[in-house]
Amino acid sequence: MSTAIQGQQGNLDRYVVIHVATTCDEHGVYVTKDSAEVIELGWILLDAKTCDELHRESVLVKPINTPITPLCTSLTTLTWEHVRTAGTFRDAINRFDTFAAEHLTSQNLDFSFVTLDSWDLRVQLPREARDKAVVLPPYLQHSRTFDLRTEYQRWQQHHPESLPFGPSMLSNICAALEVEPVQASAPIKHNLPFHLQALAPASPRRAMEEAVTLARVLRGLIRKSQPPHEHPDVLTRPMDARADVRAFLSERSKVLHMAGLPHDTTQSELESWFTQFGGRPIAFWTL
């Protein structure tokens, strides 16, 4: 299998499969999208050439501005009791940086993060770091990330038989890739209002359990993307925020902060808005 993986991973030495759990609230009453706080990080280090696991670690974080709601507990199993004596966001970032220094940067290894949704690394961590005056290491401030939803969609283009299994749910992705997700806990619904009980997952997972599942998805995606020359766009083009920043600066572009945009805002909608008010943008970067 290691020979097959070699063709897929290119020049990468390591994958860092990571899951970020945050506070959340279904209606944004107690926790808005722009105020969510990290409550747990879980990560697994894989050799990119063999997908062998080299290290795993997790760290809890005590939120200071937002509560752990019943919905959050139903998704993560975490309660206030789990995190009330945990360290700060800064402590968690320092812990991760210590890991990275020991296993990655000191050895000049080329690595990429792997997440289910790149939002956590591209938006959540930098935004919370700014809010809490924490300086992120360069590889977190402008991360290089494989978004597994995106990679799965690219894989689906080569495998139309998988189209009934859409990318919106991790369980669908696992089913299409013939991967067994971690089933760690029974559903937690007893503190949820009736109208939210349908949102409770069948098996809530802690950050490490989610990271284990994502590592299985990554291996499954690699296994089912053979031979690599028939899947040239799968796991070959990570989202590279640092490259985006370099291109942005070389164009002498202007930074415009826009808050409160819906998740599904499209580039064409933004272009229409700018044109409506007399602007003529020639390119967009999401940083």
Per-position pLDDT tens, the chain of length 287? 444 454 455 689 999 999 999 999 877 777 888 899 999 999 999 999 999 999 999 999 999 999 999 888 888 999 999 999 999 999 999 999 999 999 999 999 999 999 999 999 999 999 999 999 999 999 999 999 999 999 999 999 999 999 899 998 899 999 999 999 997 665 555 555 544 545 545 567 899 999 999 999 999 999 999 999 999 999 999 999 888 777 777 776 666 777 777 767 777 787 778 777 777 776 666 65
Question: Cβ(48)–Cβ(12) under 8 Å?
Answer: yes
Looking at CATH, the fold of the domain delimited by 2-239 is given as: Nucleotidyltransferase; domain 5 (3.30.420)
Per-residue pLDDT, 31? 85
Opening angle at CA 178, ends 176 and 183, nearest 5 = 105
What is the rounded CA–CA span in Å between residue 110 and residue 27?
40
Domain ranges of the chain: 2-239
CA distances from residue 271 to 78, 99, 241, 267 in whole angstroms, order as listed: 41, 41, 21, 6
Count CB-CB contacts under 10 A for residue 53: 13
Question: Cβ(21)–Cβ(111) under 8 Å?
Answer: no
Where do runs of H (alpha helix) occur along 233-287?
Answer: 241-250, 267-276
Q: DSSP label at 45?
A: E
Element holding 129 (H helix, E strand): helix 125-131
Q: Where do we find the tokens 């989202």?
A: 239
Per-residue pLDDT, 284? 67
Per-residue pLDDT, 88? 98
